[in-house]
Amino acid sequence: MVFVLQNRYICNTYISIKSQATISIRVDHTLKKKFDSLCEAFGLSATSAFNMFMKAVVRERKIPFEIRADNAEITRQNAISAFKTMRQSLEESGVSEMTLDEINAEIMAARNERR
């Protein structure tokens, strides 16, 4: 058994104690419980998991997973823009609005062409 006091030799073994810092974050209570539960299942504490994350960020010099904007709003905006562009193009070409049956028929024709 080896004991260490203030970076001193004990039992002819030298172990260096690195200085520690504390990080305090606020998270949703439910999220924390789920995170703690998963960490426990992995055999880790939340502190160990965060240390692993921070070491990966420093080592790789990037966040080790993709961070994206909320796709729902971007997709919605793109869909509205595409719809307006398509409608304007149809109006300019003189094509009248299609019925649902006509739209479905075109979709089926396009699918059949791909087969």
Same domain, 77 and 107: yes
Same domain, residue pair 82 and 109: yes
For the chain, the domain total comes to 2
Same domain, 82 and 105: yes
Q: Which domain holds residue 76?
A: 71-114
Residue 97 lies in a domain: yes
pLDDT of residue 14: 55
Is residue 110 assigned to a domain? yes
Residue 78 inside a domain? The answer is: yes
**If DSSP states are collapsed to H, E and C, what string results for the chain?**
CCCCCCCCCECCECCCCCCCCCCCCCCCHHHHHHHHHHHHHHCCCHHHHHHHHHHHHHHHCCCCCCCCCCHHHHHHHHHHHHHHHHHHHHHHHCCCCCCHHHHHHHHHHHHHHHC
Q: What is the pLDDT of residues 4-35, one digit of tens each?
A: 444 444 455 555 667 888 889 899 999 999 99
Last residue of a domain, one of 41, 60, 79: 60
For residue range 3-12, list pLDDT tens digits in order: 444 444 445 5
Each residue of 74-88: pLDDT tens digit? 677 887 888 788 778
Q: Is the pTM of this model over 0.75?
A: no
